[in-house]
């Protein structure tokens, strides 16, 4: 096991689409930026096949320029969060729907080989030299093909970046020290927020979701690390709203009043998957063992 580092700490989030960086872990990101951590968001695709989820933005001219608009939205969110950001440049797979599911479109991210798709991420890891890397769990957080592929290439790059025999020519080897998965939508969190809403006489936005919950019953047990970041929830909300095509300001994202959310569930939660430094779980810091 390694020892604490004395240099500036660096954190890399690997996400599938623009807006994922704002809907998953954004408040803890803002906290770490405020603490002086250098944070890089890597976005695998441009979100080209994403639907327009905000009815106020559902206009023909928006759909016709969705790639350009989503890049601008990402830039606005990046500025709000105070992070650096890079694109891997892969093409959004879309979310197939139907029974049976249709095939994914040719050339999309979800159909790439993991070995090939991990290469540009290895190059960025070796150049940025993160101490901590985060991404989604093996199910992508939810089973979107781009989220699952994002998981696969992040795990592959985390393992390959330190190996001088792999991806020769993609920079000097670098060993990231910790790998985490996001756990943004745990049953326990949704239940706590919903209960807090109902105690105030408000309607929980999660009632139907929880009643139909078909997720892993042991999901909550996988959380190892809860990062206190309630004071940055407002930064997260502003970053979310920057993705105007994806986030309806009158929708469920903002159904829970800010003050209530800060009281009922003041953390963002992660699962420590790999650590090359000595640490003990449960943790309250992604950099536990490194400071």
Q: Give percent above pLDDT 70 in the chain.
A: 97
User: 105: which 2 tokens?
Assistant: 């479109």
The answer to whether residue 212 sits within a structural domain is no
DSSP conformation letters of 53-84: --GGG--HHHHHTHHHHHHHHHHHHHHHHT-E
pLDDT in the model for residue 252? 87
Q: What is the count of structural domains for the chain?
A: 1
Per-residue pLDDT at 51: 86
Give the mean model confidence (pLDDT) for residues 248-276.
Answer: 96
The answer to whether residue 45 sits within a structural domain is yes
Residue 199 domain flag:
no
- 3-state DSSP helix/strand/coil percent for the chain, to nearest 5? 40, 15, 45
Q: Annotated binding residue at 13? A: no
- Residue 231 falls within a domain, yes or no? yes
- pLDDT recorded at residue 213: 84
Q: Mind listing the pLDDT tens digit for each residue in 73-108?
A: 999 999 999 999 999 999 999 999 888 889 999 999
Burial of 213 (0-12, 13-18, 19+ CB in 10 A): middle
**Does the pLDDT of residue 216 top 80, yes or no?**
no
Decide if 174 is inside a domain.
yes
Q: What is the pLDDT of residue 3?
A: 61
Residue 131 assigned to a binding site: no
**pTM for the full predicted model:** 0.95
* Residue 158 included in any domain: yes
**How many Å apart are CA 50 and CA 53, to the nearest integer?**
9
Looking at 11-20, 58-67, 81-90, 216-225, which range is the least confident one? 216-225
For residue range 33-69, list pLDDT tens digits in order: 999 999 999 999 999 998 899 999 988 888 889 999 9
3-state secondary structure of 126: helix
Whether the per-residue pLDDT at 219 is higher than 80: the answer is no
d(CA 172, CA 128): 11
Q: What is the CATH number of the domain that holds 53?
A: 3.40.50.10320
Residue 206 lies in a domain: no
The answer to whether residue 4 sits within a structural domain is no
Which of 116, 78, 92 is CA-nearest to residue 16?
A: 92
Strand order in the sheet with 132-135: 84-90, 38-45, 10-15, 132-135, 178-182, 267-275, 225-228
DSSP-derived secondary structure letter, 47: -
Q: Which of the 8 DSSP states describes residue 2? A: B
Does 100 sit behind a cis peptide bond, omega within 30 degrees of 0 on the bond before it? yes
Per-residue pLDDT, 217: 64
Question: Do the annotations mark residue 99 as ligand-binding?
Answer: no
pLDDT digits 0-9 by tens, 173-210: 999 999 999 998 889 999 999 999 999 999 999 999 89
Q: Which domain holds residue 156?
A: 10-186+218-275
Q: How far apart are CA 47 and CA 222, in angstroms?
A: 29
């Amino acid at each position: 096991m390694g020892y604490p580092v004395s240099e500036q700490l660096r954190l890399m989030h690997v996400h599938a689409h623009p807006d994922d960086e704002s809907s998953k872990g954004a408040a803890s990101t803002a906290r770490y930026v405020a603490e002086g951590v250098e944070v890089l968001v890597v976005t695998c695709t441009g979100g080209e096949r994403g639907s327009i989820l905000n009815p106020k933005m559902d206009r023909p001219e928006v759909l016709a320029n969705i790639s350009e608009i989503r890049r601008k939205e990402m830039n606005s969110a990046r500025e709000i969060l105070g992070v650096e950001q890079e694109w891997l440049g892969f093409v959004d797979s879309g979310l197939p729907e139907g029974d049976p599911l249709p095939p994914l479109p040719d050339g999309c991210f979800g159909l790439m080989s993991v070995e090939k798709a991990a290469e540009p991420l290895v190059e960025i890891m070796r150049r940025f030299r993160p101490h901590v890397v985060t991404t989604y769990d093996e199910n992508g957080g939810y089973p979107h093909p781009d989220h699952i592929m994002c998981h696969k290439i992040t795990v592959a790059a985390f393992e390959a970046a330190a190996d001088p025999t792999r991806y020769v020519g993609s920079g000097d080897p670098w060993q990231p020290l910790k790998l985490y998965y996001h756990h943004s939508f745990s049953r326990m969190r949704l239940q706590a927020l919903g209960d807090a809403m109902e105690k105030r006489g408000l309607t929980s936005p999660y009632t139907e979701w929880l009643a139909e919950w078909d997720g892993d019953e042991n999901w909550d047990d996988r959380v190892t690390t809860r990062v206190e970041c309630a004071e940055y929830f407002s930064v997260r909300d502003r970053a979310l709203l920057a993705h105007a095509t994806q986030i309806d300001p009158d929708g469920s994202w903002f159904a829970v009043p800010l003050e209530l959310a800060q009281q009922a569930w003041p953390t963002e939660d992660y699962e420590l998957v790999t650590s090359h430094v000595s640490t003990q779980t449960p943790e309250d810091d992604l950099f536990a063992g490194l400071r």
